[in-house]
Amino acid sequence: MNTLTVSVVTPDGPVLEDTFEMVSCKAESGELGILPGHIPLVAPLSISAVRLKGPNPQRIAVSGGFLEVRPDKVTILAQSAERPDEIDVERARAAKERAERRLQAKQDEIDFRRAEHALKRALNRLDVVENR
């Protein structure tokens, strides 16, 4: 079976470099499924889980960034990226609760957007841990 080399990189350095049969992720334009031989593509990513399919499937929580696709390689340049075993579940739950409280307080627009963004990040991290 054909495979893709997948690299996940953050400002802090590489998170993953391996080969997989398929990459599924959520771009701002919608869900993408990337197979070997895919046409070149660059797309902004949403806060979501990147699902890597193959003999050793993995999920990685990403907080935005970009996806670059070439026929034999996928590079994800993420603001942050975490594997399930790197996620502090208690910290993510606390962040979720804080963000929900801020959203209920109905503060000004900037605080609302920040709280909404924090809530999405926390929910994504918890989803990646719970659905390894």
- Global pTM value: 0.80
Q: 98-113, pLDDT tens digit by residue?
A: 888 887 876 666 677 7
The CATH homologous superfamily to which domain 88-130 belongs is ATP synthase delta/epsilon subunit, C-terminal domain (1.20.5.440)
Half-sphere exposure for 94 (CA within 13 Å, toward CB): 5
Domain ranges of the chain: 4-84, 88-130
CATH class for the region spanning 4-84? mainly beta
Q: Residues in the chain with pLDDT < 70?
A: 1, 106-110, 132
Q: Residue 118: what pLDDT?
A: 83
Nearest to 83 by CA among 33, 1, 18: 18
| Percent of residues, the chain, with pLDDT higher than 90 | 54
